[in-house]
Structure 1
C-alpha cells in the first residue's frame, strides 16, 4: 500500500507540474518567426517582441476563458493534493479520497474545457486581428498545448485512482 501511495503522490505532483508548465509557458501555437500562448503573442524576427493579449484583441474574451479555466484547473489540482494529504490520516476506510477524487475530476474537466476552447477558436483568430499573420495555418500546436492535453489525461486517471483507492487498506 505504501508503494501505491508513493506512486499516486508522484503521479499527482506530475499532473500539477504539467498544468503549471502548460499554463505559464508560451508555446501553445508556434511557427516560423513567432510563438503564442494564452497570455501573449511574440514575434522573433530580429529580436523577440511580445504583445500581451488584452482588450485590443477581438478574441480577448475567448482567451480570458482559456486563461481562467487553466488557472482554475491548476488551483483545483493543488487543492486536491492538499485534501488528499489531509484525508490520508483523518478519515476512515471507505470515506477516504472521495472529495479528493471529485476535486481532481473537476480539475480534469477545467483543463479539458480550456484546451477544447483553444482548439476550436484558434482557427477563427487569424481572421479577426491586425496581427493575423501570426495565426495562419503555417503554425502548429506547441508543446504547452500538448502538455495541457497530457495533463487532462493525467488528472482524469488520478481522479479515477482516488475513487478506486478509497476502499483499500
Structure 2
C-alpha cells in the first residue's frame, strides 16, 4: 500500500510539473526553428544577439479560452495535491480520497478541453495569414495532451485509494 501511495504522489507531482511547463513554456506552435508561438507570446530568435524576442499574442476568444482552461487545470491539480496532503493527516482510517480524485479529474478535463480547442481552432488562435502547413505543433502542446490521460488515471486512482494505518 505504501508503494501505491508513493506512486500516486509521484505521478501527481510529475503531471503537475508537466502541466505547469506546458502552460508557461513557449512552444505550442513552431513555424520555423527561429519562430514559435505559445499561449502568451509570439517569439522570434535573433541570431545577432542570440536571444528570443517575444511580443504578446493577439487576443481572441479561442486563445483566451485555451489560456483560461490551462490555468484552471494547473489550479485544480495544485488544489488536488494540497487537499491530498491534508487528507493524509485528517482523513479517518478507511476513508476515500474523493475530493482529491474529483479535483484531479477536473484538471484532466480542463486540459483536455484546452487541447481540443487549440487543435480544432488553431487557425483562429494563431491569427496568421500564413499557411499552417509551414508549421507544426510544439512540444508544449504534446506535453499538454500527454497530461490528459495521466491526470484522469491519477484521479481514478485517488478515488479508489483508501487510507490505511
TM-score with structure 1 length normalisation?
0.86
* Deviation of the 1:90 alpha carbon: 1.3
Could you give the per-residue CA deviations for residues 71-102 of structure 1, whole angstroms, max 9, x where no partner exists? 00001101000101111121224432100001
Contact 1:88 1:96 in 2 (8 A): no
Shift of 1:44: 3.0
Aligned residues: 161
1:149 matched to which residue of 2? 145
Specify the alignment match of 2:101 in structure 1: 101
- Conserved 8 A contact 1:87-1:96: no
Q: Secondary structure at the match of 1:95?
A: coil
Given that residues 77 and 107 in structure 2 are in contact (C-alpha distance below 8 angstroms), is that contact kept between their aligned partners in structure 1? yes
Measured against aligned partners, the alpha-carbon deviations of 1:9-47 in whole angstroms (never above 9, x if no partner) come to 111000100000000011101021310111111233656
Q: Secondary structure at the match of 1:132?
A: coil
Residue in 2 that maps onto 1:165: 161
2:54 counterpart residue number: 50
Quick one: distance in 1 between partners of 2:28 and 2:92? 43
Q: How far apart are the structure 2 equivalents of 1:159 and 1:51?
A: 37
* In 2, Cα distance between equivalents of 1:118 and 1:64: 11
Q: Which residue of 2 aligns with 1:64?
A: 64
Contact 1:26/1:40 (8 A) holds in 2:
yes
1:108-119 superposed matches below 5 A: 108-119=108-119
Normalising by structure 2, what TM-score? 0.88
For structure 2, the residue ranges without an aligned partner over 5 or more in a row are none
The yes-or-no answer on 1:38 pairing with 2:39 is yes
User: What is the rounded CA distance, in whole Å, between the counterparts of 1:103 and 1:145 in structure 2?
Assistant: 22
| Equivalent residue number for residue 75 of structure 1 | 75
Gaps of 5+ in 1: none
